[in-house]
Amino acid sequence: MEAPENASEGVPNADEHAAALADANADVVQMPFEAALAELETIVDKLEKGSVSLEDSIKLYERGEALKARCDDLLRNAEIRIEKITLAADGKPKGAAPLDGK
């Protein structure tokens, strides 16, 4: 049995899928950490319960990947900015040093 000539009609190719995914997750790059984390937790809950269709599960998973990447980026940036306070011999703050001591 042969597949119809237009069997792939309506099925996006890899480039179209990537573009659609980027459009669907465009708002993620502007989200604050707390909002991204809260949405990610909601997605994980839905996926763990299995309460969504396969197609919706795939979309949620892809959204979750974008949200996780956003949270990772924000945390990495926060770590870079964190400084530890250095103390003088008398115990009073004398300045700041990078968290990793470099």
Binning the chain into helix, strand and coil, the percentages to the nearest 5 are 60, 10, 30
* Closest by Cα among 32, 34, 43 to 65: 43
- Is the pTM of the predicted complex or chain greater than 0.95? no
For the chain, which residues score pLDDT lower than 50?
2-4, 6-7
Q: What is the pLDDT of residue 44?
A: 97
pLDDT of residue 73: 96
The pLDDT of residue 100 is 61
